[in-house]
Structure 1
């Protein structure tokens, strides 16, 4: 299935204006600060963000993990207000790859007038994490995949592209040694101009050798200023409740080194509103540089996931890039209210498991989605990233249009546990023509938490899930006039997935020969 370009509605990404201060000197900035940047600039689960400038427009993407369509493409004219226009892979995963769709990195070749999108995925045949690349004649696609470029035994991730001072093109990446308790070298190797082949021998730039870096360095981004190449990079644990991710900087007068790490690293650490800051990319705007990185908000934490945060680079008197490290959580969550009656094409915010080709249609009757028993018996999933801690979702299920062997409903979707690679799991509420059930499904085992009968005369049933503090769930059914409770204070925290945050959305369970009818879906933030 192909997703066309859409404009992301303003109620989802209404991100406020800010004024960029001008100038990038050799001393710590002392000018009057401008208005605050409104963060997060990309709310919800948008890890490992990348950003590149093409003319007057900025283009961004982020990690998809196991949710399709893969690698969203956003555009902006000011780095703050973003529009979702397409995906690198709107039709699903490339044939060679199966999961772990991480760390896209966009790069624009001005001479070719062509966009390249590097990315990480796990190879089906070898099981190795691999760096691959796709290309497009226009930043908004469509993209053609060119397959893996490097796939080391320990894994290869987090690609970045840079040219040396002579104009030679290189691909940089991390060897994923930490997965086997080994060091994590940052490598550079020359790459062909069509980005399909690595040339010559690889060169190590640096590795995790400073105490603050712990068991890894990763997520390199390179930019030039004056005589130096500068690198931002991240270290520590990125992706769970015990994370300690941080960002450092290094510099070299030659792309291949020797590289010198800043003696005041790390330059980005936990602050008032954000924790575990890192893995992003640097982009110029005017005379300044900005760093787009991910972080957990301290209130949302792992329940919401890693959101994209924008911060201006400052400079020391010794020509080191650093940060004020004072980014605020300044967005109004009221902007995230969402509703969908499915009369038109499916909104691009909806996601599904990369392992499933979903079948659906939209129209006057709402959404008709084919049921299934895949996804660990959860059925077909259509979800969105969580963007706040306190909200409620509701959906109206059309019983007469729903097949006899199918149930439609809503759920909070996570993992069977908090570990890396845990299978998908969920807690939700669903209905068929006989009754309503609240359920928890983990490792294909379903526990019924509440249930109610419904009259045979009912043509529709409205269901509601209320979420508090990111993980405390209440489930209700509408009796035609009031909302009646079926299960209260259900704790979903054991199911928060490693590195992703919860998703909320719709489920269609049952035989794959029938469809579920969902008339409408609504999200209201209650912060």
Structure 2
């Protein structure tokens, strides 16, 4: 079977079936990182997750201990030519000394979600796309590959957009991993109309265990959970665990699901999945969590988690000095509605680019946040009629920011298809730089500030925290960053960007 190995950790195993997400369970990869998949090369570990409508596509993280993670790049810096949007559910697989990533994307020609595959000699770079592996009905998503004693199988979710029950389908896969062989078969059918997806398979003794997610995955109204069924053959029939769901909501986390397994050097299994933090809700998206797997007396699975004391939290402040051209900054943007053009030179980051007519926010160069409470700041070093500043970008019609434009600093929002200036202040002559700051609070409000000298001036309307609960899209978190709204022939110049978590 597929081999995925994660560093061994000390875990106390629970003895009861089923698990609510523990109160103190920390995110192993905090921030928006849905549908995680993990693999090991030597002493290093690599995780890849959904990017949805953010470009570049499919972020990749690396860890040397399985707990502290840093981003190394993306699977695709530019999208495969057959794709158009909805980059979901990447899945690692290693076979014949080659790293595979099976992924979901919508096809450019007709908008149908299909499953593609890319390969590389390395787990985090150099991937070559091989195009579509699965096109089936109106939608094929959530690939998972299993090696059953030398015969490869690929499974996926089908019929999610059809007027019939959803099914988890499977098929034999060619030895090179690039095409189906034989006819698809049904592993599980959603006769109860729960909504099933995000499956993975492991085998223990005589049983094949099919773990899957049920319910609504995304947004504030989600009700996701993890269930399991088992069979004596990979093709089924599968019998559900009477204790389902085996992973469900807890006090601090909700809507767990879409996970895959890794195996440590001692043979112990760990389950990598995503969930929403109740405190930050959808503002930080679906974050990656690791659980341990054990078995009860009836050979059904039991999950438990790492103690909070063993977690490793990310740094609380990041300062990106644009005079330092060697630092890694993993910017993201809404590739459907903008084409940013940016470069670092002469101690500045210069930002311009194109944006769609239905995007009143302009170009947003953003980073994925670790929490819903932070300060962001920058310094603008040029003055023209374009708007240049800070932004919290949810979507083309959901953004908020503060910008320098001509002789004014403006607090603005993008909502319902139009950009509205909420408040403005006059700057002093052409004195540069103009410093800008936004403070985002846990109650999903923000404040805006600016200065030319030593003292911050508040620009928030009515000096009251401004509500930004309208920002999050359905399936991803808003991103903070820098912003440009103006002619493509002009630009903004920034000397730094800083984010400090509260």
TM-score of the superposed pair, with normalisation by structure 1: 0.86
Q: Which residue of 1 aligns with 2:289?
A: 309
Q: How does 1:64-463 map to 2 (within 5 A)?
A: 64-90=51-77, 92-109=78-95, 112-165=96-149, 167-177=150-160, 179-180=161-162, 182-210=164-192, 214-285=193-264, 286-324=266-304, 335-343=315-323, 344-345=325-326, 347-355=328-336, 356-374=338-356, 376-399=359-382, 404-415=384-395, 423-463=396-436
Shift in Å at residue 350 of structure 1?
Answer: 1.5
Distance of 1:332 and 1:482 partners within structure 2 = 36
Conserved? CA contact 2:24–2:252, under 8 Å: no
Conserved? CA contact 1:187–1:202, under 8 Å: yes
Change (3 A) 1:37 1:61: farther
Distance of 1:294 and 1:483 partners within structure 2 = 39
Q: Which residue of 2 aligns with 1:510?
A: 486
* Partner SS state of residue 93, structure 2: strand
Change (3 A) 1:470 1:330: farther
* Partner SS state of residue 302, structure 1: helix
Greater alpha carbon shift after TM alignment, 236-245 vs 251-260: 251-260
Conserved? CA contact 1:372–1:509, under 8 Å: no
Shift in Å at residue 370 of structure 1?
Answer: 1.6
Distance of 1:207 and 1:160 partners within structure 2 = 17
Q: Which residue of 2 aligns with 1:493?
A: 469
- Stretches of structure 2 that go unaligned for 5 or more consecutive residues are 1-6, 18-22
Distance of 1:329 and 1:502 partners within structure 2 = 29
Distance of 1:173 and 1:494 partners within structure 2 = 33
Distance of 2:207 and 2:343 partners within structure 1 = 54
Change (3 A) 1:206 1:52: same
Change (3 A) 1:475 1:299: same
* Partner SS state of residue 315, structure 2: helix
Greater alpha carbon shift after TM alignment, 427-436 vs 351-360: 351-360
Distance of 2:402 and 2:317 partners within structure 1 = 21
Distance of 2:487 and 2:430 partners within structure 1 = 24
Distance of 1:256 and 1:347 partners within structure 2 = 45
* Partner SS state of residue 359, structure 1: strand
Shift in Å at residue 443 of structure 1?
Answer: 4.3
* Partner SS state of residue 385, structure 1: coil
Change (3 A) 1:18 1:484: farther
Shift in Å at residue 63 of structure 1?
Answer: 0.3
Shift in Å at residue 84 of structure 1?
Answer: 1.9
The count of residues paired between Structure 1 and Structure 2 equals 484
Conserved? CA contact 2:376–2:499, under 8 Å: yes
Q: Map Cα deviations across residues 314-351 of structure 1 (whole Å, 9 max, x no partner).
A: 21111111213797698676723111112214634321
Q: Map Cα deviations across residues 26-76 of structure 1 (whole Å, 9 max, x no partner).
A: x9499xxxxx99721111000111112334432210000111111112222
Distance of 1:82 and 1:134 partners within structure 2 = 23
Distance of 1:54 and 1:223 partners within structure 2 = 20
Conserved? CA contact 1:269–1:325, under 8 Å: no
Conserved? CA contact 1:93–1:354, under 8 Å: no
Shift in Å at residue 371 of structure 1?
Answer: 4.2
Conserved? CA contact 1:385–1:504, under 8 Å: yes
Shift in Å at residue 523 of structure 1?
Answer: 1.0
Distance of 1:500 and 1:330 partners within structure 2 = 28
Q: Which residue of 2 aligns with 1:14?
A: none
Q: Which residue of 1 aligns with 2:4?
A: none
Distance of 1:501 and 1:429 partners within structure 2 = 20
Q: Which residue of 1 aligns with 2:446?
A: 473
Greater alpha carbon shift after TM alignment, 118-127 vs 361-370: 361-370
C-alpha RMSD over aligned residues: 2.5
Distance of 2:91 and 2:314 partners within structure 1 = 31
Q: Which residue of 2 aligns with 1:10?
A: none
Shift in Å at residue 79 of structure 1?
Answer: 2.1
Shift in Å at residue 231 of structure 1?
Answer: 2.0
Distance of 1:479 and 1:154 partners within structure 2 = 55
Q: Map Cα deviations across residues 279-338 of structure 1 (whole Å, 9 max, x no partner).
A: 011111123110110000111111111100111112111111121379769867672311
Shift in Å at residue 164 of structure 1?
Answer: 2.3
TM-score of the superposed pair, with normalisation by structure 2: 0.91
